[in-house]
């Protein structure tokens, strides 16, 4: 099914990290992640594309545009969840 993040005050990058954390250890396609971000209310196409660029340092790309969170990405996602933003 579709993934959603129901927390206010998060950036597109934060939402992308939480989505990839939920999919971990499986990989999630770059285009599928972009489409998921665009479904979230308030995230513009430009914001989503910027997040896709910024997420590179937190992910492993298998060469076929399938992303998997690296350890630093999982730590960042855990920090976002613990931040208490609702």
The interaxial angle of helices 30-39 and 12-23, nearest 10 deg, is: 130
According to the model, what pLDDT value does residue 27 have? Answer: 97
Blockwise average pLDDT, block size 10, the chain, 86 residues: 79 95 96 92 91 97 97 96 72
According to the model, what pLDDT value does residue 40 have? Answer: 81
According to the model, what pLDDT value does residue 86 have? Answer: 44
According to the model, what pLDDT value does residue 6 have? Answer: 75
């Amino acid at each position: 099914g579709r993934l959603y993040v129901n927390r206010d005050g998060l950036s597109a990058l934060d939402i992308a990290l939480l989505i990839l954390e939920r999919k971990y250890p499986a990989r999630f396609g770059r285009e599928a992640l972009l489409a998921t971000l665009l479904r979230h209310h308030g995230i513009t196409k430009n914001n989503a594309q910027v997040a896709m660029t910024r997420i590179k340092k937190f992910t492993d790309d298998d060469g076929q545009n399938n992303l998997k969170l690296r350890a630093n990405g999982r730590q960042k996602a855990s920090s976002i969840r613990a931040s208490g933003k609702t």
